[in-house]
């Protein structure tokens, strides 16, 4: 099955700085990579995603890059704001034998210091 590693587990940045979270996956058949933001006690919310036929995607202050050869994808948040503080999860979609299960990393707790 798929295995997703996520680093770092915690990240503190000053407001206005950039934050980068990195993930690796093991199964080359995985082809969809979403990122979710989860605030304490709330549901995971999709913030950006990328499919395997694209190398980079950007949405305002958030960008994701994918390196299929290295099985590596990263989340970049620029001009961080205190409301960006949350736990961020990367995930990889394994779509084999008719199943579409997401495998998640363990999460990164991002703290943006005002």
In angstroms, the CA 64 to CA 69 distance is: 16
The HSE-up count of residue 41 (CA atoms within 13 Å, CB side) is 0
Site membership for other proteins, residue 110 (CB under 8 A): no
Pick one of 45, 58, 59, 67: the residue that binds other proteins (CB under 8 A): 45
Sign of CA dihedral 63, 86, 2, 24: positive
For the window 89-108, what string marks contact with other proteins as x by the rule CB under 8 A?
A: x-x-x-x-xxxxxxxxxxx-
- Using alpha carbons only, give the angle 22, 86, 56 rounded to the nearest 5 degrees: 35
Residue 53 sits in the site that holds other proteins (CB under 8 A) = no
CA separation for the pair 21, 30 (Å, rounded): 19
CB nearer other proteins, residue 18 or residue 42: 42
Binding residue for other proteins, selected from 7, 26, 49, 68, defined by CB under 8 A = 49
32 binds other proteins (CB under 8 A): yes
Which parts of this chain interact with other proteins (CB under 8 A)? 4, 6, 32, 34, 36, 42-46, 49, 89, 91, 93, 95, 97-107
């Amino acid at each position: 099955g798929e295995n997703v590693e996520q680093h770092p587990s915690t990240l503190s940045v000053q407001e206005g700085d950039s934050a980068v979270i990195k993930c690796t996956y093991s199964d080359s058949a995985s082809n969809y990579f979403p990122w979710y933001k989860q605030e304490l006690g709330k549901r995971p919310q999709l913030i950006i995603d990328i499919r395997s036929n694209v190398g980079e995607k950007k949405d305002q202050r958030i960008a994701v890059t994918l390196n299929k050869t290295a099985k590596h994808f990263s989340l970049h948040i620029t001009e961080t704001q205190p409301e960006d503080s949350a736990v961020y999860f990367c995930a990889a979609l394994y779509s084999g034998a008719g199943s579409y299960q997401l495998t998640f990393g363990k999460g990164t707790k991002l703290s943006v210091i005002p």
